[in-house]
Amino acid sequence: MKPNIAFVTGGYSTEAEISYKSALTIEKNIDTDKYNVYRIDITPQGWFHEAGNGQKITVDRNDFSLFIDGKKLTFDAVLIGIHGTPGEDGKLQGYFDLAGLPYTSCDSATSALTFNKRYTVAVAAFAGINVAKSVHIFKDNPVSPEQILNQLSLPVFVKPNNGGSSIGMSKVTDAADLAGALNKAFKEDDQILVEEFVAGREFTIGVFKSPKGIITLPITEVISKKDFFDYEAKYQGLSEEITPARVDEAIADKVRSTAKKIYELLNCRGVVRIDFIYNEAKQAPFMLEINTVPGQSEASIVPQQVRAMGWTLKEFYSALIEDALARK
């Protein structure tokens, strides 16, 4: 019998829009000859599966099952395609752990840690990974722009500490603009990370685990047509993404080896995407952040890297599902 796979999409945050864009690509490329796939929408209004006749079937959250045609349907594994909460921050992972269901992403502890940008860079720095100098700010304990600039030098990036897709992020080059950037980020999160700008080339790389070990996908160089790789650059075509990157092998090897080290350090599972700045002065990659549920839309980088490696997306998603099923 074919395994039953729940493909979860949606989410509770502003990143749900990105989840649905990723869902279009994933659903077209899951191997339905190998798996029975059921899309599950997880929204603030409820968790449900839409049957072929348009009927919305509510998920029984006691055991994450469906009741279809008079029969109870349970799942063998979960393919997680939710960006933001609750699919990228560890909440769903903890729920699936309690239900005894394997899934395709990092576990709950790693997901929660990496969703918090500040804690991620702190752990990485402790292990010797190069990261930008930063300040962590909480909404209920405000810090003035002057206090921030006493610790950091312009330009700086201001970003919500939890979240992705560069929503709420700003690059600040003038001290007069810092207060506005802080307010913009606080609209998305109760915590903010302010990081010093690191000069260099921007690279991003997908990493995943297979029975053969940790595999790094071909590196992508990101050249934004804006000041930085923000939401518009990512999803509205305002960037050039070169895959595979045209880069000296010595630099590429440093990026790949650092990415593998981070993957092992943080006990990652499934596919993650790690963003770097390669600083020429230090001749080293600086880690920016880790995305444990990287985008899979037509505009996303991981699908580009998979194809550049010579795989089809169908082969890739099958590898992720098989890795999860092996933990059942």
Domains of the chain: 4-105 (3.40.50.20), 112-130+199-292 (3.30.470.20), 134-196 (3.30.1490.20)
Residue 106: pLDDT band with limits 50, 70, 90: very high
Question: How does pLDDT run across 134-146, given as a tens digit for each residue?
Answer: 999 999 988 899 9
State pLDDT tens for residues 262-315. Answer: 999 999 999 999 999 999 999 999 999 999 999 998 778 999 999 999 999 999
pLDDT band at 229 (very low <50, low <70, confident <90, very high): very low
- Bridge partners (DSSP) listed for residue 272: 207
Rounded Cα–Cα distance for residues 76 and 103 (Å): 9
Question: Where residue 188 falls among pLDDT bands split at 50, 70, 90?
Answer: confident
What three-state secondary structure class fits 185? helix
Q: H or E segment at 135?
A: strand 134-138
Task: Return the ∠ at Cα 317 (arms to 312 and 320), rounded to 5°.
Answer: 130
Minimal CA–CA distance to 21: which of 236, 293, 292, 297? Answer: 297
Least confident of 79-83, 98-102, 221-225, 305-309: 221-225
Average pLDDT, the chain: 92
Q: What is the mean pLDDT of residues 12-16?
A: 90
Work out the pLDDT band at 65, boundaries 50, 70, 90. Answer: very high
